[in-house]
Structure 1
């Protein structure tokens, strides 16, 4: 089991990758999974789905807004009080923002939206766990990033991509700063992932263009060497590998999780 006996915090629990990260962490033997989201309903759903696995993993639910330092501190405090330590942080919380372009974007909206959440909020939560991990002399952090940082997509999502690109760069600094304390920091760049968000997007696009959903799926899959859109849970496992002991000497690295859609 990748995460046997580990205590794992997952931010951004939602209907897509977030909840799958929590579920797969439990499936991979985590002793405790701390589920964090802005709304309690998403946390209740995550707990039910983990309990349905029949595993021994304990679930801690915590409402958390990562853009609020006090909320991040409360999450860390609750985790340490319940489990005594933090082995891994999976930064999955994000705000997509408008489908925009650099040349015409509302830059003020970037500051209050994707940059405030994806960059600053993620770093606030990361900073909150660092003291505990330093005390332990070990810990692993992984940032969920996007393929849009690696290549410019056909659709405009400039604000989202820019915020995530800055986060990817911050990973390298964190890895160098925290390595002497036994703390590893990595990033995974996700491509297309089949789950509720992408399914909803495909259905919307199908209505807009009056074509079957299957046609759109086939068009995307044709660009992926593996020939399919990977499901959320497969992508989640790749991210969890980066906080597992199997990646014990991996830090400051970027892993592309996209079926080969983008190859640097």
Structure 2
């Protein structure tokens, strides 16, 4: 098991990738700290873990990562309960407002930046002192393919994630001597509740059917399918595990080949 005897924090628990990260971490033997702004999402995630027949210890905490004080309290609770923090998966985000940049409401951009960049950094900085004390750790940033391949109306979201890209590289450089690895998984199209809901809304508005939309997107991806969110979670789990002990500052594209760097 890749995370056996590891204490793992997963932020942004909810239907989709956050929940799948928690479930996969549990399957890989982790003791968990899961956080979200809504307590019911934490309960649902724990239920999924129990339904999978797993008995991992799960510490649930309501936390808004845009509040640095709450991030500090979360890290302190993890240390008080488990005595260490081995891995942080920064999965919490908000999509922001979808609009062309020329029509953007910059206050909306600030809200998005406050969670996706400043909030992620606040939680990261909250766990770093403990990782330094214990001799190392791993931090995995969940990022987006839109920072690498722009998509219309997603400028605000992409800008927040692009800022995180820059900070991640510097974190990897500066924390390397403390044996703290910092890597990024760049997610593309992921089949899960968010994409399914988007396709369903488009179909309900008179657009193509869900299956037609899925086929259209899949036709642009070399693997000819939209990756499942659970499969994407496995790639992030790898970056947090000791199998990636020689990797820091890496950008792992998890999108079925939809973006091919060269």
Tell me the TM-score normalised to structure 1 length: 0.97
Q: Partner residue of 1:203?
A: 200
Distance 1:263 1:190 in 2: 13
Report SS of the residue matched to 2:185: strand
Q: Are the equivalent residues in 2 in contact too, given 1:139–1:183 (CA < 8 A)?
A: yes
Q: Partner residue of 1:259?
A: 256
Q: Are the equivalent residues in 2 in contact too, given 1:101–1:159 (CA < 8 A)?
A: no
Matches within 5 A, 1:43-82: 43-82=42-81
Distance 1:105 1:3 in 2: 42
Q: Are the equivalent residues in 2 in contact too, given 1:38–1:65 (CA < 8 A)?
A: yes
> How far does the alpha carbon of each residue in 1:96-145 deviate from its partner, in whole angstroms, 9 at most, with x for none?
1110222331112211x110000000000000000000001110001000
> How far does the alpha carbon of each residue in 1:158-195 deviate from its partner, in whole angstroms, 9 at most, with x for none?
10000000101110000011001110001111001111
Q: Partner residue of 2:122?
A: 124
Distance 2:146 2:213 in 1: 19
Q: What's the offset of the Cα at 1:54? A: 1.8
Tell me whether 1:162 sits opposite 2:171 in the alignment: no
Q: What's the offset of the Cα at 1:211? A: 2.5
Distance 1:254 1:85 in 2: 26
Distance 2:184 2:165 in 1: 7
Q: Partner residue of 2:21?
A: 21
> RMSD over aligned Cα, in angstroms?
0.9
Matches within 5 A, 1:106-255: 106-111=105-110, 113-153=111-151, 155-255=152-252
Distance 2:4 2:104 in 1: 45
> How far does the alpha carbon of each residue in 1:50-83 deviate from its partner, in whole angstroms, 9 at most, with x for none?
1122223110100001011111011111111111
Q: Are the equivalent residues in 2 in contact too, given 1:93–1:118 (CA < 8 A)?
A: yes
Runs of 4+ deviating beyond 3 Å: none
> How far does the alpha carbon of each residue in 1:8-38 deviate from its partner, in whole angstroms, 9 at most, with x for none?
00000011110000000001111x1111000
Tell me the TM-score normalised to structure 2 length: 0.98
Q: What's the offset of the Cα at 1:238? A: 0.3
Q: Partner residue of 1:6?
A: 6
